[in-house]
Amino acid sequence: MLHDVITTPMRNLEIKVRVGHLDEIKDRLQFAQYKDRLEQVDTYYLLGEKRLKIRQEKIMSELIFYVRSLQDGTRESRY
């Protein structure tokens, strides 16, 4: 049943890092294979540590509620 599939909350880990040698990274990626392009627009609403995000894509849109602390660096979200 669908209910059994979605009983565990999903989590996302976001990591942002500063890149010092962008040319080196571009060189390493020159043989990477293009897979797909995803176009979307995210609009965020803050509610303390809670967030509401509207994600709009060409075919559909999603309303996503999640909880994340206001800290810098690595951040985990539960949604």
Q: Enter the pTM of the model.
A: 0.53
Contact (Cβ atoms closer than 8 angstroms) between residue 75 and residue 68:
yes
Residue 79 pLDDT = 64
Distance CA 68, CA 63 (A): 16
**Predicted local distance difference test score (pLDDT) of residue 74:** 65
Residues with pLDDT less than 70, the chain: 1-8, 12, 14, 69-75, 78-79
pLDDT value of residue 50: 86
